[in-house]
Amino acid sequence: GAGVSQSPRYKVAKRGQDVALRCDPISGHVSLFWYQQALGQGPEFLTYFQNEAQLDKSGLPSDRFFAERPEGSVSTLKIQRTQQEDSAVYLCASSLLLGAIYNEQFFGPGTRLTVL
């Protein structure tokens, strides 16, 4: 596709349910990032993949959050036993890998998660 796509766009979960959020990056993009954006705030980094390797997961708020990218393309962010504080927009971004040069990150439209 032409850009980063995410699904679902909206997800409502009851507290305690597990959810899975999907990201399809731009074809050929090596790097993939997940961010969490609370209402009225800037996105906050969650985790980063280079191909299938998860190189940084320092931003994941708890062990209820898990991300994978098994074949180095599509990624899934899973949240177990959702809590109300997990309500946010989850953004995925991808970029080419060009060594030490900053790479523009292309963002998807996000998944808005609401936990009741």
Partner 1 sequence: GQNIDQPTEMTATEGAIVQINCTYQTSGFNGLFWYQQHAGEAPTFLSYNVLDGLEEKGRFSSFLSRSKGYSYLLLKELQMKDSASYLCGSPQGPGGGNKLTFGTGTQLKVEL
> Counting contacts by CB under 8 A, is residue 44 touching partner 1?
yes
Q: Which of 19, 36, 48, 77 binds partner 1 (CB under 8 A)?
A: 48
Polymer length of the chain? 116
Smallest separation (angstroms) from partner 1 to the CB of 59 = 8
> Counting contacts by CB under 8 A, is residue 35 touching partner 1?
yes
CB-based burial, 18-52: b 16+ in 10 Å, e otherwise:
ebebebbbbeebebbbbbbbeeeeebeebbbbeee
- Total Cβ atoms within 10 A of residue 7: 14
Q: Which of 75, 82, 94, 95 binds partner 1 (CB under 8 A)?
A: 95
- The structure tokens 């927009």 sit at 89
Applying CB under 8 A, the residues found at the interface with partner 1 are 3-4, 31, 33, 35, 40-45, 48, 50, 55-56, 59, 91, 93, 95, 99-100, 102-110, 112
